[in-house]
Chains A and B, each alone.
Chain A
Amino acid sequence: MGLHHYLILSALLFAVGAAGVIVKKNIIAIFLCIELMLNAANLSFVAFSRYLDQVHGQIFVFFVMVVAAAEAAVGLAITITLYRNRRTLNVDDADLMKW
């Protein structure tokens, strides 16, 4: 297992996540896909960190986890307020404003 194995896996995960964000309609599913993309980046960080034999990348991953948790808190709160007002979790129904 060399560095490039990890990088390819991370690129694939990132692509799956990005495709999911575009294809999925459910807000929670989109949110999960974004988390997948963040963790794909984390995998790259850890792999690079190991390859370069330094800890910077691993420390970065901690920061990303904290940020992801904060984002999840705010994101779910926003989703709940939308659900209270509109009774929907489908992004296609959030269409009050266009063009």
Chain B
Amino acid sequence: MIATYLPLVPQLILITAGILVMLLEPFTAPGRKGRLGQMAVIASALAAYSLGFQWNSTPRTLFHGMFIVDNFTMFFQWLFLVITAIAALVSIRFNQREEIERGEYYALLLFACSGMSLMAASGDLILTFLAIEILSIATYVLAGFKRSDAHSNESALKYFLLGSFATAFLLYGIALIYGTSGSTNYQVIRDVGTLPGQVQVTAVAGLVLLLVGFGFKAALVPFHAWAPDVYQGAPTPVTAFMTVGPKAAAFAALLRILAQALPAMADDWTRLLWAVSILTMTLGNVVAVLQTDLKRMLAYSAIAHAGYLLIGVVTNTGNGFGAVLFYLVVYTVMNLGALTIVLSLSRQGDKRVNLEDYAGLSRSAPFIAASLSVFLISLAGIPLTGGFLGKFYLFSAAVEAGYIGLAVIGVLNSVVSVYYYFRVMVVMYMREAADNALPPEPISPPVLAIIAIGVAGILWLGVYPADILNLASNSALTLK
């Protein structure tokens, strides 16, 4: 009997650890709050370990179809746990330096992680809605965690207002889909299939509103306006977390809804997302070229990458979905890596994040400059890195499914992106540091280890992608 609910153990670990962190916070002396961060890392590791037992078990559902247990869920939960652990680890030093050392931070990360995991596991619109909100409310607070800083306030305010605006659209979409299909359960909605005349029109309206809601959450053009401001103003570890975690979670929930609940409307959603994908890639890349603040540049690059990911969703094939999952892993490694370096080199109060500050970095910190170059090369999609193979699988899935135009636009966009990624490398390697420049902050050993593992991971994914690729396509299988 109890064995049935074992797949919930990772969730329970996350939530228990979150509550424990909150309870222990008042008893932890100032200056030792890093301990709570270490607790968050250990909890994530434990949860990831307990997930291992569920891998490859027969796909099934718990709580009348609410919670789906399959490899897709496990794959994403693993990814989210890794993201959370790394975000907690790199935050410890950063929070001390920025004087925002408080235990709630780590509790919020853990709660956000449980929200993301539920988004991937959800088989019911009610749970999807609740999971999105668990994640969103935690990230609103995280974005504004530097309470005394006006940039952080502004970031939180914009994220909050536009996030809840998006929630309203999402909810109205869910209401229309519920009304037309008579259920909130994905399987039941799927079985209802195509509806007669007028009712189908209402259902499509529901779908469009749902996509608007997800468009805001995943920062797709034309609903991306909040993203650069929020990513720039939030504390950098939170930015690193937000550009990968909630984005991957939004894609997980989107894939589940589109492929498992609404395959009957595939014609409508592929056409819509086709246009959104092109807009997102192009705008993200073109505007990124104009940026001089590295955090903001990476924010626009994150928008562009969401556009590439959409290509895989549009194909509506098992291969395409597998490519999305693989690319999400690669994207997580390279984006987290790049932002970890940006946050480690920055000085108190978000100083030293401008492009000019990276001049001469190859002299003062050769290892860091080389690592950042690897991440940027991978983000640009140059061969021998994971970024190249990820894009290759996405584009080839698009060609297979007959979306040749989409693949061509994707390739052209990658070419544009080379310009702004390589500009950073040019500044690092070919320009001398100004005389009055602040030296880069020394980097702590655990963060150095993370960076080294990230570099190794990107090269490994670029040379031997088979392991993770099999894992990704295996997990995407249950969708089709």
Contacts and interface: CB of A to CB of B under 8 A. Distances in A.
B171 A48 contact: no
Categorize the interface residue count of chain B: 35 or more
Given A78-B140, A81-B153, A91 B161 contact: yes
Interface string B146-160: 011111011111101
Contact of A79 (B157, B167, B232): B157
Given A14-B172, A70-B137, A38 B167 contact: yes
B172 A37 contact: yes
Contact of B232 (A21, A48, A97): A97
Contacts of A40: 168, 172
B270 interface: no
Given A45-B178, A71-B137, A74-B137, A37 B168 contact: yes
Given A60-B184, A75-B160, A67 B165 contact: no
Contacts of A37: 165, 168-169, 172
A83 to B, nearest CB: 9
Of A21, A31, A44, chain B has the most CB atoms within 10 Å of the CB of A44
Given A34-B168, A38-B167, A74 B141 contact: yes
A94 to B, nearest CB: 5
A: interface residue count bin: 35 or more
B156 A78 contact: yes
Given A34-B168, A78-B157, A82-B157, A56 B133 contact: no
B126 interface: yes
Interface string A18-50: 100100000100110010011011001101100
B356 interface: no
Interface of B: 126, 129-130, 133, 137, 140-141, 144, 147-151, 153-158, 160-161, 164-165, 167-169, 171-172, 174-176, 178-179, 182-184, 228-229, 232-233, 287, 290, 296
Given A51-B179, A60-B126, A77-B141, 19 more contacts: A10-B175, A27-B157, A27-B161, A34-B168, A38-B167, A41-B171, A41-B172, A48-B179, A64-B129, A71-B160, A74-B137, A75-B161, A78-B140, A85-B149, A91-B157, A91-B161, A96-B150, A96-B154, A97-B229
